[in-house]
Structure 1
Amino acid sequence: MKKYLFIVLALSGAVGLISWGFKGHRAVATIAQRHLTSNTAYVVSAYLGGQPMDAVSTWADENRDPKTAAWHYINLPLGLNREQFVKTVQESEGTVYTAILKMEATLKDPAASVAQKNEALKYLIHFVGDAHQPMHVSRKEDKGGNTIQLRLNGKGTNLHSLWDSKLIDQEGLSQDDMVRTYDKATPAEIKKWQNDSPMEWLWESYQVTSELYANAKPGQTIDDAYYQKYIPVIRKRVDQAGIRLAGELNKLFNNANAPARSDKADKSNMLKNNATKGIAVGPVDINDVAKYIGKTIYVTAKAYSAKDIGSMVLVNLGAAYPDQLLTLALKGDAKALGAQLEGKMITVSGEVIDFKGKPEIIVTKPEQITVK
């Protein structure tokens, strides 16, 4: 099977096309998570079965199907102007561009099942990252730069691998440090980037690729000057991917309802996570809640303030706004509890999500909260 997969990928020009590597894709997803609206974060988590976005960001590479191998990139000749580029992309089939449109269509489709939307969401998280890796918008004849051999730190590599992960590895940052360093977009940049279409994302990658091909010399040694010139480009492309992924998801889910998840399914998922990922259910100290993003916990703390904003009641735990340590977003049947909690010690259970850099739990069932 492995031999067959290699042959299929080689023939399609996709050898080694795993964009941004493990750290890069996870950084894209984590940046996106930080820019989701509260409701979007809740709906995304529900469709992913409680898994955080970064955990599924490499699923499309790890579960590569020969039938979808070409969905990760697009082959284009060099020298196209903007009009020629758009025409060529629109006329191409089975590419990262058409895959993104297909996944978004599935996520919008009310007739699509939860399982179909789970898969489409995992693909979309990955493909938005792929679209921003310049070497995924490149030439077929060199397999996206895979056959252009280079040297880095005294070892052989290639142009594609260099941009997948080698330059990121050279930087030496952890995933958390990458996110803190890369996620620097201004409000104006965020607004502009999220208004750009997937065609614009690819055009940007194509422009970078054109420069890389023009300057690439087979056998050349990648020196510090090259690194210093292009690491800012990588930082920007990863940040743009995360910001734009958040923008697409907010458009899809900001006003959407989460799929129903049975108590049995929730419990099964929690136990599975606990067994495989060492997730602490609780009790969790209120000061440590931010460490449990993407995990289901229970925590006891004082409710300092509550505010009804129409669609939900926001309750601040651990301190009053804006210094709260945890925000509860009470929705649905749980919304009526909001007026009863202020000034009381409560225990709440639920999945911790990241909302604009602060931990939050969406509470939809009254039984998730116990008043002490």
Structure 2
Amino acid sequence: MGWIVRLFVLMQLVHVVFCWGKHGHYAVCKIAEGYLTKDAMATVKELLPDYANGELASVCSWPDDIKWYYRWYWTSPLHYVDTPSFKCNYKYGRDCYDSAGRRNNCVTGAIFNYTKQLFSAYQGYNPNLKYNLTEALIFLAHYMADVHQPLHVGFTGDLGGTILKVRWYRKKTNLHHVWDTLIIDTAVKTFYGSDLSTMVRAIQRNITDAWSSDIASWKSCRHHDRVCPNLYAAESVRLACNFAYKNATPGSILEDDYFLSRLPVVEKRLAQGGIRLAAVLNQLLNFEVKIGQSL
């Protein structure tokens, strides 16, 4: 585990762009922690590296930190899936491939893959597996958050909004970064006393109160599947069309009207990502089976 610790420390010095920001990943995983069963939480803590101090949320940004390094560059396409420009729908067979045309190399494919790895180890009773389950857990948690960011299921023509230049108030930026980071950062500063934990608690209260009747439908997958990233991606691209891209043409100045109308969408997606991540982990890790770990 030493190399993971060293890499984690080193990457704190690196500026990372084009990813649901650290605040977003922290929020999703912190929400998920609150809905894990006792056994699932125990298994998560067993898998986490020592420096995480038993907190999944503290390492949920790790896949963003490493993707720029040669050894991990293969993970770069796994953070998103783009749809044809102006197509407000998602289809796995049409959309899930990387820039080299390799199929299944996208965020939904990654979620299927790491769910399968954890299922095989903890439910499949196969002691011969060589999966690194620590990595599988962290990658799954990270990509579950990514697929809920609407512009991680954006258009191919503008690379999910990364080349669509706008202003966020007075700041020059791109539309993807607005949704990754700036909406959350602005909300934390404006409404939550510059305290991310306060924002997370507010979202948790909404889950308990305003959204309580929606929780069952959020966790539900068709055909009793363990995870349904295709559904999450389809939701995201519809939100991208209806909220992210709407009134955000190149050169647009996005201010209060845009911020205040989009913040509820962002907060709900953080909530959905957290609830769904917990639901998946509760199914996969509902009792402790200590096999298949290769660290």
**In which range does the TM-score fall when normalised by the shorter chain?**
0.7 to 0.9
* Counterparts of 2:169 and 2:18, CA distance in 1: 22
- 2-side partners of 1:258 and 1:32: how far apart? 22
Normalising by structure 2, we get a TM-score of 0.77
Match of 2:184 in 1: 168
For residue 101 of structure 1, report the CA deviation from its aligned partner.
0.6
Identity %: 31
2: distance between equivalents of 1:129 and 1:28? 6
Query: What is the count of residue pairs matched by the alignment?
Result: 245
Q: Distance in 1 between matches of 2:152 and 2:179?
A: 10
Q: Deviations over 1:220-273 (max 9, x none)?
A: 111211111000000000010000000010010013335699xxx9xxxxxxxx
The two structures, once aligned, show a CA RMSD in angstroms of 2.3
After superposition, give the CA deviation of every residue in 1:264-284 in whole Å (9 maximum; x if it has no partner). x9xxxxxxxxxxxxxxxxxxx
How many angstroms apart in 2 are the aligned matches of 1:141 and 1:76? 9
What residue is the counterpart of 2:198 in the other structure? Answer: 177
CA distance in 1, matches of 2:252, 2:57: 34
The one-character-per-residue Cα deviations of 1:91-147 (angstroms, maximum 9, x if unpaired) are: 75200010001001111223434x610011010110000000011101222121111
Q: Which of residues 253, 257, 267 in structure 2 aligns to 1:235?
A: 267
Show structure 2 runs of 5+ residues with no match: 1-15, 98-102, 122-127, 222-227
Q: Secondary structure at the match of 1:215?
A: coil
**In the alignment, is residue 76 of structure 1 matched against residue 83 of structure 2?**
yes
Equivalent of 1:142, from 158, 171, 174? 158
The worse-fitting range, judged by mean Cα deviation, of 206-215 and 117-126 is: 206-215
Please tell me whether Structure 1 or Structure 2 has the larger radius of gyration of its CA atoms.
1
Supply the distance in 1 between the matched residues of 2:141 and 2:158 (Cα, whole angstroms).
27
- Residues 1:22 and 2:18 aligned together: no
- Whole-angstrom CA distance in 1 between matches of 2:94 and 2:146: 18
Matches within 5 A, 1:218-257: 218-257=250-289
| Unaligned runs of at least 5 residues, structure 1 | 1-14, 266-372
Aligned-residue offset at 1:26 = 0.4
The structure with more strand, counted as a fraction of residues: 1
Amino acid aligned to 1:237: R
Which residue identity lines up with residue 63 of structure 2 in the other structure?
A: A
| Whole-Å separation in 2 of the counterparts to 1:165 and 1:217 | 19
Structure 2 equivalent of residue 208 of structure 1: 239
**Superposed, which structure 2 residues align to 1:101-120 within 5 Å?**
101-110=112-121, 111-113=128-130, 116-120=132-136
Q: 2:100: which partner in 1?
A: none
Change (3 A) 1:44 1:141: same
2:114–2:136 contact (8 Å) kept in structure 1: yes
SS at match of 1:156: strand
Residue 72 (structure 2) pairs with residue 55 (structure 1): no
The residue aligned with 2:43 is: 43
* 2:170 match: 154
